[in-house]
């Protein structure tokens, strides 16, 4: 997405999608884990199928 501001990206895209249940953290107990990544939840996959 070529975003330069990580904080803005997280606040605009990541956090709202986690709160809505579309994505989840791989390591939720350690948000700053060096290998942190995100995956689509069942709700997120269902939404993707409808797009």
Which helix (H) or strand (E) segment holds residue 47: the answer is helix 42-50
Structural domain spans, the chain = 6-50
Percentage of the chain exceeding pLDDT 90 = 75
pLDDT one-digit tens code per residue, 1-16: 566 778 888 899 999 9
Percentage of the chain exceeding pLDDT 70 = 94
SS3 state of residue 9: helix
């Amino acid at each position: 997405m070529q975003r330069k501001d990580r904080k803005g990206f997280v606040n605009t895209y990541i956090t709202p999608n986690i709160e809505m249940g579309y994505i989840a953290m791989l390591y939720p107990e350690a948000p700053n884990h060096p290998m942190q990544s995100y995956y689509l939840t069942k709700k997120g996959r269902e939404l993707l199928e409808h797009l």
